[in-house]
Structure 1
Amino acid sequence: MKSTLFLRPCFEQKLLPIFLVLFSIITSLATLVYKNNQVHQRTSVLVEHTKDVLYNTEEISSSIKELESAVRGYVITGDSAFLSPFLANSKTINAGIRKLSILTENDPLQQVRIDSLHLLTEKRTKAALLTLELRNTHGMEGAQKYIQTKAGFHLTRQLDALLNRIEAAEEALLTLRKQANDESNQRFFAFYFLLIAVLLATLVVSFVALRKNLTARKKAEESLRENKVLLRSIIDNTSSLIYVKDDKGRFTLVNKAFEKKYKLTSGQAIGKTAFDLAPTRYARKYDLNDQTVLRDGRLLEVEEDAVIEGKLHHFYSVKFPLQKRNGKNYGVAGIATDLTDLMTKKQVEKQKEIIETTVDAQEKERKHLSTELHDNINQLLASAKLMLDAAKTNPELHDICLRKCEEAIGEGISEIRNLSHALAAPSFAAGGFTSAVKDLADRINLSGKINVQTSLCTEDEINPLSEKAKIALYRIIQEQMNNTLKYAKASGIHIEVKPQNKKVYLRIADDGVGFNPGEKAKGIGLRNIENRIEFFSGKMNLVSSPNKGCVLQVELPMSCN
């Protein structure tokens, strides 16, 4: 199964570079064909351009010869009909030179030759006109004498030579341009056939890739079906409730445990919302948690309650968003584990622990009471009895013994009062909670054993706290003070009570020897504190380390009962 799952990605990863290389080759060849085609077009234009130059050169040469023929005809015959070809060829020569100048404007050497050609043709035309004028004024003999000077003949030879040089240069250029044109044609055909070969190779590779990809796709689809069956088997055989909702809160998938818990089939559950299956106040909480997951796009762990067939169930739910490839959340998946039985078991165990702690505390209190009665009050009463007996038997010591008896009885009464104060629940009717805490601090300060400082809120600020919670808070302070006095060897204690955000915060800090909470087991005192806090749904944090004192932090909700 593993090889099937990973076959397609690996094949595509191998195939991608091949197609990239083929695409690069095709693109390069297409670019070369395009560029070569442009070169071919330019060389073709240049070849035609050179042919135009040669044609114009030939036309000028022919016109010069016809001009000379016209002059000779007129000199010999005197017939004015020869003047028309002379004038026409003169215009043709001038027009041809201008066109030739335009055609070769990018060739500086040819431009020099054409300038020379222009000058020579002007001279040759002037010589011809002079011959015609001599024929008109001095007759044929006068014209022949001028012709015999060979002035026109030399100009004609120079013109022929110059035109030959122009033609030779253009012929050489024409040869080069034809060669370049032939080469571009050869390259075009080479690139064209190579491009066809690459395209054929691409088609072959594409066919092989497609066939292999189809095979891999079939295997992947089969693997996907197997995985779906496996996943469905896992989902349906877990004891947790598993479900999927869309962004509208409608169920799109539920497992067997969900169907069994809600006594619904999958078909009945799909399309429904939490408001269809649960009371409104619970459904609102589910929907709020779902919307939080969709909005924040992150996993959410939360405790949720549900009433199913009239029974309250406690669930530990893990909810997470389902995302599309573009990252957009389209639904919520949830895994809810029913903790009702476990919580009930833990509550029973906790109740047993509380009872055991209470019994231990009661036994400790009885022992303390017994010790106080036996070692202190009993001794004081026994001493008073001895003094009374002495007063009866020794008249001379009567007054002294009665005074000693009175002192012992008074001290016993004071000890009994102190003992009763320690055992009785504090009353906050007279001065309130803050006064009771201050009185406790003052009594300890009077003993001189330790310095107690307080930072307390006003009575109005703590009044929203129930009477029982105030007593619990007072007992926590009393218990921690006893622990500090017994074990901490501290010189100072600071007590702070501060209501904030509908909660009451208690902080008791000492500068004693401290201890390591992880190594030292909790005694009865700390367990009593912890049980009181848990009873009122509060939180406790104990921070201590050797030689760095101890800080007890307590948090109780104002609304606790």
Structure 2
Amino acid sequence: MQIDNKKLFVTNLLAEARQEDVLSIQLSDQLNDGFNKAVFDALAEGLVVQDAKGEVIVYNRAAQLILGLTKEQLIDRNFLENKVKCFHEDGSSFSWDLFPAVIVARTGTSQTNIVLGWHHTDGNTRWININSHPIIEETGKLTGTVTSFTDITAIKAAQEEMKRSEEKLHSVVNSSKNGVFLIDRNYKILLVNEDAVNRQMIMSGVPRIHEGMCFLDILPEHRRKPVKDALDSVLRGQSVEYEIVYTKADNQDLWLLANYTPVRDKNGEITAICFTTNDITALKTNESALNKSEQRWKFALDGAGDGVWEYNFQTKESYYSPLYKNMLGFTDEEFQNEAYEWHSRIHPDDLKKITGIDKLYEDHAIRNHSVEYRLRSKSGEYVWVLDRGMLLEWTPDGRPLTLIGTHKNITEEKMREESLLQSRQRFSSFMANTPTLSWIIDENAIFRFLNVPYLKAFNLTESDIGKSVYDIFPRHVCDHFIENNWKVWNSGASIETIEEGVDPDGKAQLFHIFKFPLESENGLRMLGGVALDITQKVLLEKRLAEEQEKKKREIIQAIMNAQENERKELAYELHDNVNQILSSSRLMLEVAIEKPNISHEFMRRSLNYLQDAVTELRKISHSLIPGTLRDISLEAAIEEVVQNINATKKIKITYQKEIAHSGKAILPEIQLAILRIVQEQCNNILKHANATEASISLNIDSREILLLINDNGNGFDTVNTKKGLGLNNIFNRTAYYHGTIQLDSSVGNGCSLQIRIPLPA
């Protein structure tokens, strides 16, 4: 074969080795020609020719360099099959039976673009792209295979780098909280992240997204035209943004903020569109809730009558709501939105309450405030307000910007507080100064309140409030005390009782106690009590009872003594007067009998004596039980006594009376007592006073009897002079009828006796 024929053969062989059709190449001895060998070695691809048995017949230099094998290793099938570990792109092992040349030799079918990797002798992983074809004679017999391969390690590295870049891009895009689409100029989806896919899946009646589909196809029919218009605007270099709401499969609204932005290459040409969707459903929900909240807040403020104010720290601008101004009696026009309008109306005594608040906000010492003070209204009267404010906004550098707050009219509350405070002060003053002991106790026998008199009475301190009654008093006292408490709780009614106690020295005491139920507190029944120490009262009553008993005995004794004296007086009168008169009358009668001739004279004398006896007996009878009180009034009976004494010419007594009440309505016993007192005092004056004049005054009204008896006699020392029987009788009769007596006398100044006896109603 000539040289030109050799070149043509090799050229055809190489060309056919790169084709995917079945080769019909006649391999001849000329392949080993030096010229052909040179051509083989000049090729950049590796080239290996094997016979029908798979033995390597020829290979070029590129094959040895790409594979990194020696000549011996390259032609050693056993070495290639057992020592060289090859693997697929997915990392799985590439067995010898799957080598392209082996498959071609077995099947006669070409194997193209087979990618194979192995560990090169330099320690790195290498990748080659293999094409293997059969060599068939004209007779159709397969005589061998020719395999070409190209080192694609750099290409694989570039592909891996591109894959990693794409993965990074997808990772970045997928990590976005927004839905992201990359759309080409024909509206095809080049890239879509998971958020966009997931968001599309919850939509109703839309297809599932995948890369390569038309972006408009994923939209509802009514949205396609406006979106296409937006895409076209972006392709003209504009950016588009709007809010849109979709209905999800669960009939809930999905609010999206859609944004279209052009993507440009390095030459500034628009090559694609970046479309992002941000889920603003929560924001819209919050906006709606905020609007509703603001409406409710405004309604609540208006309903509560609270005025709203706002203050800007940086511009010093102020705002006051119409309700704020109306609270002070102003119209919206009359009250300017200026800080001085507010500040100039603060009560001078309250300025110190708000001075420095701005500074506290500026120093970040507070974030809100609440203070009560007075503002002067349009009428000139002061209105109490509760000023509450909070810092709403800050400047970018952290300074306070907007302060917002409310003013609430609390005038009525302050008046009630003042009234309550005064009431508490009065109550505290009352409880501290009342002579009664007051307390509050719960069902566990714990004192909740003790007033000052209680603390003083038992030598206690404020620290004893909160202690059990058993920690303070003896058990026997506490048991009775608690027993009565439960009577109140069980009945739900107040009780009045007498309880025993002990003073700090352990002496027994008696208390008049009122106990009453109070409202429960934290589930515990409460009881209030008021007590008055009646220990001294009881002792005095006992002593008074003893003295009254003694007085009664004295009265009885005086009555007995008076009766005895009256008997003596009666015996004396009967013996000395009546007896003598009757004796004289008897004598006259005896003489008349003996001397009949002169009997008439003696009988006349006897009759005179008998008349004197009758008169004397009548006087005695009147002195014992004056019949005049049965027949005449008290004042008339006293007048009879006065007339009888004046008839003796021993003393002159004047008698005055003023009767505003019928004497007959006075009990006979009382009338008799008054008459006896008059008789007794007149006898005392006649016997002891050596008086020349005396006066008696009797005044009777519906309430009492007032008797005054005065004389100008010797008088006596009322302190050192012992009362005689007559005065004792006067005092006892007066006391018996619950009257009062006043005796004024001194030596040489006469005597004045005043007696008051109350009349029954």
Name whichever structure is richer in helix by fraction: 1
Bigger strand fraction: 2
Pairwise same-fold verdict (TM > 0.5): no
Taking CA–CA contacts closer than 8 Å with sequence separation of 6 or more, which of the two structures ends up with the larger relative contact order? 1
* Normalised-by-shorter TM-score class: 0.3 to 0.5
TM-score scaled by length of structure 2: 0.32
